Amino acid sequence: MLNIAMLGSGKGSNAQAIMDAIAAKKLDACIVCVIADVADAFILERARQHGAPAFFVDCAPFKTKLAGAAEQHVLEILRQHGTDVIALAGFMRIIKGGLLAAYPQRIINIHPALLPAFPGVESWKQALDYGTKVAGCTVHFVDAGTDTGPIIVQRVVPVLAGDTPEMLHARIQVQEHEAYPEALRLIASGRLQIKGRRVLQL
């Protein structure tokens, strides 16, 4: 069984998709803890409803990164709960070296684009502005770059005529909720090998 810790900042819809997959026995895993950097983030309520320990960690004085005392506090919680893998679920902070060193190739994230295209924020808007015919989502391992880690799973979403950013984003999220549990199932299988930016199944 895979012991998953989640870090989030908001509603936690991807966290819920993972919880639902576990409840439906489609993913052999346990949510050992959920940590948020926003005190009233709904992801914490989702954790409580799932029966998982929920923690708020104040990341001040930093506004955009997890560092310093907050990073150490998060590491303590993760270790106390026997974390195998960290799943970022809408966590709006940059992961720094301490956490990366403690959990090498064990931190994953989901991004609403077909990486390496459109890294960064609001990638669905980037895709529409660029005029691409396809968008999608990517689950990847986290490294020191911005959305640059090895890719585990990707799902393609067509861009339709008349799409607004909101419409496209909503369809991407449907695929995210399938892709994230799929990626965790692959990790739980123990048959993944990382080769550069690629992840191979043995």
Q: Taking Cα atoms as reference points, which of 93, 85, 154, 152 lies closest to residue 118?
A: 154
Question: What does each C-alpha distance from 34 to 46, 186, 194 come to in angstroms?
Answer: 9, 21, 26
Q: At what angle do helices 13-23 and 165-189 cross, to 10 degrees?
A: 40
> Omega of the bond prior to 181 within 30 degrees of 0, cis?
no
The two tokens of residue 202 are 């043995």
The sign of the dihedral angle between the CA atoms of 126, 132, 138, 143 is negative
Question: What does each C-alpha distance from 191 to 57, 116, 178, 194, 200 come to in angstroms?
Answer: 34, 24, 20, 10, 8
Q: Catalytic site residues?
A: 111
Question: What does each C-alpha distance from 63 to 11, 55, 77 come to in angstroms?
Answer: 19, 18, 21
Burial state string for 99-121 with b = 16 or more CB within 10 A and e = fewer than 16: bbebbebbbbbbbbbbbebbeee
Cβ–Cβ under 8 Å, residues 137 and 124 = no
